[in-house]
Structure 1
Amino acid sequence: MANILVVDDELGIRDLLSEILNDEGHTVELAENAAQARAARQRMRPDLVLLDIWMPDTDGVTLLKEWSTTGLLTMPVIMMSGHATIETAVEATKIGAQSFLEKPITMQKLLKAVEAGLARNSGQPAAAVPLRKPGMAGVVPMPQPELTVESAMTGGQTIPPVVEMGPQARQVFELDKPLRDARDEFEKCYFEFHLAKEGGSMTRVAEKTGLERTHLYRKLKQLGVDLSRGKRERNAA
């Protein structure tokens, strides 16, 4: 596995890329600006760098040029941006960047670019990166599981519905509440169940639930799911 330096001023992007790459077994170093990237490059020789173009102190193209002119561009660099022009991408490629990823970055494109960059660094041809699941490049609606709701009217009272979550999990959901609240409650429980089952691996949960990786990450944050819980359980095991 490889040592990868991720340079981006957006915390969410750094966390997302770090999570994906860690799931793939890579060691990830993070930098939020050019100054931290310079310091990281002095401490180590990364096998690959993911470098954002637009940053507040020094832009990525200028940093790339700096590394090139000082002999520090000894590793593949993949540029990233959500607003760069074709001219900027071409300029970065001429300086020495291996490729360019446009934000938002899908998991498939990221892994394919990283695979190609690492293969180039090792002198080996890049292996084909298989699709993790049909439709991975786009946002796939979450498949709705079958819900077995058993209810009966007894003396004017309703027995609470029971939703089957799996062979080892049962959860009672109260349906006498607004639809949005009931849906969020179910989805949180659903994702927590799969995170625990997959040992906290976001990659495997994305495959299992049929969601594109970046959409899954945002969904878990929105629902307030504790992403560190699965990691702690996996490390304890």
Structure 2
Amino acid sequence: MATILVVDDELGIRALLSEILSDEGHTIELAENATQARAYRERARPDLVLLDIWMPDVDGVTLLKEWGGSGLLTMPVIMMSGHGTIDTAVEATKYGASAFLEKPITLQKLLRSVEQALVKTTPRPAPAPVGLSSYLRPEPLASMPAPGHVLPTVSHHIPSSPSSEQSFDLDRPLREARDAFEKSYFEFHLAKENGSMTRVAEKTGLERTHLYRKLKQLGVDLTRNKRGAS
């Protein structure tokens, strides 16, 4: 996961972005103005910066130019603004910004922009050399059932995690069967998304508060798959 510096003079924005991105497993550093952002950048290099344009002391574009001119713009920077214009976005891109987010920032757009910015900065491993033997090695033929062979019947089960399966007993009252299914369903998505409540809420179509209540009601262990838990 990445270390992300959030620079915004609004406490509510800092808290919201910190909650969402922390839930995704990232380490979040906060700065409420350019002075604090400068101080952090001088002692550390974040993997990504979310930088507000309109701040009371020094605006975000000026700070972006400053980092670029001093050789400190070695990480992607996503600019944010609630009063931005096309010209402002173009100017920010000109000075090295990788993306521009308009407030209010939607969850989907935030996560997509962060993911794209981090992917662009992740070095790709060099492809392994391919020897002649790789081309000469015959591919195994898929096994085919013999004539008259009867395919086995599939038992009723649902996966409890991406790497395991759980038997599912249908010989029980409907309510118990439904609760068991829902518990397994949510445990599967929690394991698949590494405990990210944000992504599970998106996948299942539930609002996060409702999702928390549902998981608690079903007795789902939230600590088992929580990323970054100590």
TM-score, normalised by the number of residues in structure 1: 0.56
**Moved beyond 4 Å, runs of 4+:** 205-209, 234-237
Deviations 1:143-199 (A, max 9, x none): xxxxxxxxxxxxxxxxxxxxxxx96xxxxxxxxxxxxxxxxxxxxxxxxxxxxxx88
Which of 206, 210, 216 pairs up with 1:210? Answer: 206
Check the 8 A contact 2:24/2:198 in 1, yes or no.
no
Q: Which runs of 5+ in 2 are unaligned?
A: 125-177, 180-189, 211-221
Check the 8 A contact 1:23/1:203 in 2, yes or no.
no
Q: Which runs of 5+ in 1 are unaligned?
A: 125-165, 168-197, 220-230
Residues of 2 paired with 1:107 and 1:97: CA distance? Answer: 20
The percentage of counterpart residues that share the same residue type is: 66
Deviations 1:49-77 (A, max 9, x none): 00000001100000000000000000000
Alignment RMSD: 3.2
Amino acid at match of 2:14: R
Q: Which has the larger radius of gyration?
A: 2
Secondary structure at the aligned position of 2:51 is classed as strand
What is the number of equivalent residue pairs in this alignment?
A: 155
Residues of 2 paired with 1:4 and 1:59: CA distance? Answer: 19
Secondary structure at the aligned position of 2:55 is classed as coil
Displacement of 1:121 in angstroms is 1.2
Displacement of 1:120 in angstroms is 1.3
Amino acid at match of 1:5: L
Check the 8 A contact 1:8/1:55 in 2, yes or no.
yes
The aligned residue for residue 58 of structure 2 is 58
Residues of 2 paired with 1:101 and 1:210: CA distance? Answer: 25
Secondary structure at the aligned position of 1:62 is classed as helix
Instruction: Label 1:54 to 1:113 Cα distance change in 2 as closer, same or farther (>3 A).
Output: same
The aligned residue for residue 110 of structure 2 is 110
Secondary structure at the aligned position of 1:100 is classed as strand
The aligned residue for residue 151 of structure 1 is none
Check the 8 A contact 1:19/1:202 in 2, yes or no.
no
Amino acid at match of 1:210: L
